[in-house]
Structure 1
């Protein structure tokens, strides 16, 4: 995935979801979990993805790139696949 695709197609959905969550309950902190893939704008601060997250007050949980053992969703895939097969 490219940073251009991420910034144009995926990041706006994340920003919208986080802003809606903040409106429902502003007493909580909301975080975007993503690995350290370059398309997420994690390698420098002078790119569109990083700036969009900064402008929208997006807090990030940063994980090393390609680290599925640290990603919460990875443990759910087997459960989802089993349910789809049923």
Structure 2
């Protein structure tokens, strides 16, 4: 897991839920660092640097495509 790279940072769980579902559907190897800790202590998100989206190096280009498609203005689904 030390080879995984941080692609984005989120403050709260609701900000990346759609993205998480899309990654699981596409089979992208990922995990959210600090997800459980901030779930238990939501006000501590800033102290721990937020929830980091960690992506396997071979899946980064596919992950960026999904993020870009969700940020497209014509998409009904968006990440915060």
Query: TM-score, with normalisation over the residues of structure 2?
Result: 0.29
Q: Larger relative contact order (C-alpha < 8 A, sep ≥ 6)?
A: 2
Query: TM-score, with normalisation over the residues of structure 1?
Result: 0.28
Give the number of the structure whose residues are more often strand, by fraction: 2
Q: State which structure, 1 or 2, has the greater radius of gyration over its C-alpha atoms.
A: 1
Give the number of the structure whose residues are more often helix, by fraction: 1
